[in-house]
């Protein structure tokens, strides 16, 4: 199973590293990253494999969200099925 | 592989356009709880509801977190309560209402529906006792919702029952006068009521339903309104296409959540209700969709046509997205729960008569409309009879949920708070239908009910 992490907010040093570190500490394997900076605005979408998570998915969602709060970012983690459902027939 | 634009679109719909799942509703049959002894029946009802729905709230929370989509309400709908106690008195039924309230409190849900009866052709002794108890049951409970079906295209219109409804609504308003007559916000009078509707106040678990089911009501007026804004200057065919595509996406989320909830709760999936349900929040209004189509304000000439287009496109888009569609499925137009409707009513652009016309082309009916507290019961009966006739003649569901707010007159406002919102008191035609209503009897079923 996969999940999509979206990170948005004001750009600053080390965002990618912080997100990647948090993912690895909980056993989420990063499969793909897409990232862009428009003026000062940072946006990143990370696709992770969550089969090897060391915690419940809900806890992973909370921890990523807390990481965002601590760094002035908005981090949302959602199971990929919501995107597949909406955009695939 | 997921497309970045698709991901951003979904996130934008949830964050900026108020896309949410309005309700996960568990339907529970209480037929096996029936009996002679009211206390034993109450115990069985409480135990069954709190056992079957024990995990409803936590499963809703888990799904919300997994998919990152808000699930606003978790609710329970039960078998029409009149069926449980054919021999009970009104006092006994009130005990049952309090039991439902207690069960809802234990579960941590905000509403429980099913305190009602199906009397389209006539009332049993139990039905009559339950109807008499409704004002007290609604005044003495917080979470219990009540609905009465007074007509169907097959059975015609039970005018004796409608005659009672006026008195019930006036009495309910009086008993909850200290809270802007909020009891009336929990009571709906239906024609052609669906037995699998997940939305309150009209939800109940029909007698042809299985032991237990989970159904989902979707929402998303904000997402539809934004999609229409984005397409800009285009003709109405293009508007209809845009609404269809958006409704498809919204409903797919509903289907996903319904399927997942049914799996986790270990009960069958019932239906997805394709309704566009507004809230008083900014950007979550059905009226604003119509205004984005080009109306100066909701209620002006053209409103019924715009709403018909919207309602049809929502259904066409949604129906392919779900394996089972049911409930009310259409655009809701509850005045107090829709910021655009509230505004239109305040400035006088939206009248009771226009709302009545609008209900001929959408789901459901005259909903959450505050009227003067001194409106006579017979006039309320007339409003109900008109609305119910639209449903019966057009083979569709219609309903009336009006609030004759005690002590309030045109120009005043009622404030219910939360999802129930606030509303200006709307003027009502003051000429009387009293003699017509007093006749009672049944209006025969229309000729097109004879389809065999």
Question: What are the pLDDT digits (tens) for B73-105?
Answer: 999 999 999 998 778 999 999 999 999 999 999
Contacts of B66 in chain A (CB under 8 A): 57-58, 61, 78-79
Chain A closest CA to B9's CA: distance in Å?
A: 9
Task: Kindly tell me the burial class for residue B351, based on how many C-beta atoms sit within 10 Å of its own C-beta (0-12, 13-18, 19 or more).
Answer: middle
Interface mutation vs chain B, best among A78, A84, A89, most B CBs within 10 Å: A78
A86 interfaces chain B, CB cutoff of 8 Å: yes
Contact B311, B247 (CB under 8 A): no
How many structural domains does chain A have? 1
DSSP H or E run through A24: helix A15-25
Contact B220, B286 (CB under 8 A): no
pTM above 0.95, yes or no: no
Contacts of A82 in chain B (CB under 8 A): 10, 67-69, 253, 256
CATH architecture classification, B22-191: Alpha-Beta Barrel (3.20)
Average pLDDT, chain B: 95
Helical H segments across B176-322, by residue range: 221-231, 236-265, 286-292, 303-319
Chain A closest CA to B206's CA: distance in Å?
A: 30
For A89, the closest chain B residue by CA position comes to B321
For B246, the closest chain A residue by CA position comes to A86
For residues B262-286, average pLDDT: 92
What φ, ψ does residue B192 adopt, rounded to 5°? 50, 50
pLDDT at residue B1 in the model: 64
C-alpha B167/C-alpha B343 separation (Å) is: 30
For residues B389-400, average pLDDT: 96
Has residue A76 got a pLDDT over 80? yes
A39 interfaces chain B, CB cutoff of 8 Å: no
Contacts of B68 in chain A (CB under 8 A): 61, 76-79, 82
pLDDT at residue B220 in the model: 87
Nearest to A45 among B7, B66, B252 (CB): B7
Tens digits of residue pLDDT in B223-246: 999 999 999 999 999 999 999 999
For residues B268-288, average pLDDT: 92
DSSP B441: S
Confidence label for B329 from pLDDT (cuts 50, 70 and 90): very high
What CATH number is associated with residue A38? 3.30.70.260
Tens digits of residue pLDDT in B442-451: 999 999 999 8
For residues A74-82, average pLDDT: 94
| Omega within 30 of 0 (cis) for the link into B201 | yes
pLDDT at residue B194 in the model: 95
Confidence label for A12 from pLDDT (cuts 50, 70 and 90): confident
pLDDT at residue B427 in the model: 96
A49 interfaces chain B, CB cutoff of 8 Å: no
Tens digits of residue pLDDT in A23-69: 999 999 999 999 888 778 888 999 999 999 999 999 999 999 999 99
Has residue B66 got a pLDDT over 90? yes
pLDDT at residue A39 in the model: 76
Q: Among residues B54, B6, B59, B52, which one has the least CA distance to residue B32? A: B52
Structure tokens at B418: 């939360």
Please state, as a whole number, how many other Cβ atoms lie within 10 Å of the Cβ of residue B448: 10
For residues B128-134, average pLDDT: 97
Nearest to B67 among A47, A62, A79 (CB): A79
| Cβ contacts of B234 within 8 Å, gap of 6 or more | none
Cβ <8 Å between A83 and B10: yes
For B15, the closest chain A residue by CA position comes to A76
Tens digits of residue pLDDT in B339-363: 999 999 999 999 999 999 999 999 8
Strand pairing category for B117-118 and B144-152: parallel
Q: Among residues B177, B91, B191, which one has the least CA distance to residue B399? A: B191
| Cβ contacts of B92 within 8 Å, gap of 6 or more | B38, B85, B129
Cβ <8 Å between A61 and B10: no
* B218-439 is classed CATH 3.20.70.20: yes
How far from chain centre, in Å, is Cα B58?
24
Cβ <8 Å between A81 and B67: yes
Q: Which domain holds residue A79?
A: 2-87
**Residue carrying the six token digits 């809802």:** B104
Q: Among residues B436, B386, B447, B440, which one has the least CA distance to residue B153? A: B447
C-alpha B107/C-alpha B49 separation (Å) is: 9
Tens digits of residue pLDDT in B43-56: 999 999 999 999 99
Chain B closest CA to A39's CA: distance in Å?
A: 18
Task: Kindly tell me the burial class for residue B329, based on how many C-beta atoms sit within 10 Å of its own C-beta (0-12, 13-18, 19 or more).
Answer: buried
A83 interfaces chain B, CB cutoff of 8 Å: yes
Matching CATH topology for B22-191 and B218-439?
Answer: yes
Contact B250, B218 (CB under 8 A): yes
Sign of the C-alpha dihedral computed for residues B154, B160, B166 and B167 taken in this order: negative
Has residue B393 got a pLDDT over 70? yes
DSSP B86: T
**Per-domain residue ranges of chain B:** 22-191, 218-439
Q: Is A10 helix (H, G, I), strand (E, B) or coil?
A: strand
Please state, as a whole number, how many other Cβ atoms lie within 10 Å of the Cβ of residue B36: 10
Q: Is B186 helix (H, G, I), strand (E, B) or coil?
A: helix
Q: Among residues B98, B181, B177, B89, which one has the least CA distance to residue B137? A: B98
Cβ <8 Å between B6 and A87: yes
pLDDT at residue B438 in the model: 97
A65 interfaces chain B, CB cutoff of 8 Å: no
């Amino acid at each position: 199973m996969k999940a999509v992490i979206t990170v948005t907010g004001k750009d600053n040093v080390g965002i990618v590293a912080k997100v990647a570190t948090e993912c690895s500490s909980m056993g989420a394997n990063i499969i793909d990253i897409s990232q862009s900076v428009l003026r000062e605005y940072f946006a990143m979408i990370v696709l992770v494999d969550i089969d090897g998570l060391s915690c419940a998915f809900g806890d992973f969602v909370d921890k990523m969200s807390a990481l965002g709060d601590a760094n002035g970012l908005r981090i949302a983690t959602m199971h990929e099925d919501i995107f597949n459902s909406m955009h695939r027939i | 592989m997921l497309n970045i634009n698709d991901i951003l679109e979904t996130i934008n719909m949830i964050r900026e356009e108020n896309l949410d799942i309005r309700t996960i509703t568990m339907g529970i049959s209480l037929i096996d709880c029936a009996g002679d002894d009211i206390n034993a029946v109450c115990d069985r009802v409480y135990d069954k509801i709190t056992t079957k729905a024990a995990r409803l709230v936590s499963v809703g929370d888990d799904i919300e977190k997994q998919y990152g989509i808000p699930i606003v309400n978790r609710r329970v709908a039960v078998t029409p309560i009149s069926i449980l106690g054919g021999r009970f008195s009104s006092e006994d039924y009130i005990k049952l209402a309090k039991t439902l309230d207690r069960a809802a409190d234990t579960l941590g849900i905000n509403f429980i529906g099913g305190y009602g009866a199906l009397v389209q052709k006539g009332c049993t002794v139990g039905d009559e006792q339950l109807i008499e108890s409704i004002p007290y049951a609604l005044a003495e409970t917080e979470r219990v919702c009540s609905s009465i079906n007074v007509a169907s295209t097959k059975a015609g219109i039970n005018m004796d029952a409608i005659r009672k409804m006026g008195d019930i609504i006036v009495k309910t308003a009086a008993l909850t006068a200290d809270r802007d007559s909020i009891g009336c916000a929990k009571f709906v009078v239906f024609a052609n009521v669906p037995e699998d509707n997940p939305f309150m106040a009209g939800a109940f678990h029909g007698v042809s339903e299985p032991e237990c089911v989970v159904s989902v009501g979707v929402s998303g007026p904000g997402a539809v309104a934004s999609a229409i804004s984005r397409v800009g200057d285009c003709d109405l065919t293009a508007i209809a296409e845009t609404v269809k595509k958006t409704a498809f996406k919204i409903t797919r989320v509903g289907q996903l959540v319904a399927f997942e909830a049914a799996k986790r709760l270990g009960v069958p999936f019932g239906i997805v209700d394709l309704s566009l349900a507004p809230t008083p929040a900014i950007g979550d209004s059905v009226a604003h969709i119509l205004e984005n189509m080009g109306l100066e304000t909701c209620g002006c000439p053209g409103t019924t046509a715009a709403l018909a287009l919207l309602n049809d496109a929502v259904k066409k888009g949604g129906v392919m997205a779900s394996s089972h569609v049911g409930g009310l499925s259409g655009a809701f137009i509850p005045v107090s729960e829709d910021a655009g409707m509230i505004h239109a009513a305040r400035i006088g652009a939206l009248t009771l008569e226009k709302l009545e016309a609008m209900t001929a082309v959408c789901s459901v009916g005259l909903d959450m409309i505050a009227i003067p507290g001194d409106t006579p019961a017979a006039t309320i009966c007339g409003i109900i009879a008109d609305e119910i006739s639209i449903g019966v003649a057009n083979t569709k569901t219609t309903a009336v949920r009006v609030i004759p707010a005690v002590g309030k007159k045109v120009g005043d406002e009622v404030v219910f708070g939360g999802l129930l919102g606030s509303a200006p008191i709307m003027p009502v035609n003051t000429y009387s239908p009293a003699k017509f209503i007093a006749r009672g009897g049944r209006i025969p079923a229309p000729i097109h009910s004879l389809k065999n």
